Amino acid sequence: MKARGKRTDGPVSRLINRRVSGRISGYIVSHDIPLTPNQASLISAVVGFLALPLYLAGQPALAGAVVQVSSILDGVDGEIARARGQASRLGGFLDSMLDRAVDIAVLLGLSLYAYITGLPHALVLVASMLALAGDLMVSYLHARGEASLGVHPLLLGRVPSLASRDVRLFIVFLGSLASQADPRASLATLLLVAVLSLTYVALKTVDVALGYREGMGGGRDS
């Protein structure tokens, strides 16, 4: 496979996901299977959406497994696009929008599972809102950084990819497995996603500002 990964890949993508998605993409490309990058994005999203009804059915372990499979498949679209020279701005836009929709569905499903298992409702509400806010803020930080500064924030500064999408979904995967034995793990998972994401956003915002000024000579202040 050509250009299998990206410089901005998170640790889970580099160590786990790409090892699997690269083989899938390699098979698709080498056998000339007529699957477009956008179709691959849609398949990954559909798999991710399946987690929501599984959480509602009281099957968090199976839902978590589905989440991780979707996370792995999320790399296939870009790998196919790079290997076949089919990368496009529209494809990147659609993939990003589908990713956000899946993230919302996954966190909603995990939150509802925590709610229906009888955990303190107020605490579940706060944890779910903070987890969702952190998830979306990480994505916004990266997207806004590229749009405003012309460079991905992970390529600036020293703070590593602590809460990239692959990391967040892997945490949900592990937390969902644990939730099958103890529903309290679902609440702990939401809180962990929230704390990790919001901490990363705060640190990386400062890191990007300092890194951009020092490494690129500044720019617009607003």
Q: Tell me which residues are annotated as active site.
A: 99
Residue-by-residue DSSP string for 180-192: HH-THHHHHHHHH
Residue-by-residue DSSP string for 121-159: HHHHHHHHHHHHHHHHHHHHHHHHHHHHHSS-GGGSSS-
As to burial, measured by CB atoms within 10 angstroms (0-12 exposed, 13-18 middle, 19+ buried), residue 44 is buried
Distance between CA atoms of 109 and 59, rounded to whole angstroms? 11
* C-alpha distance from residue 184 to each of 175, 178, 192, 216 (Å): 10, 9, 13, 46
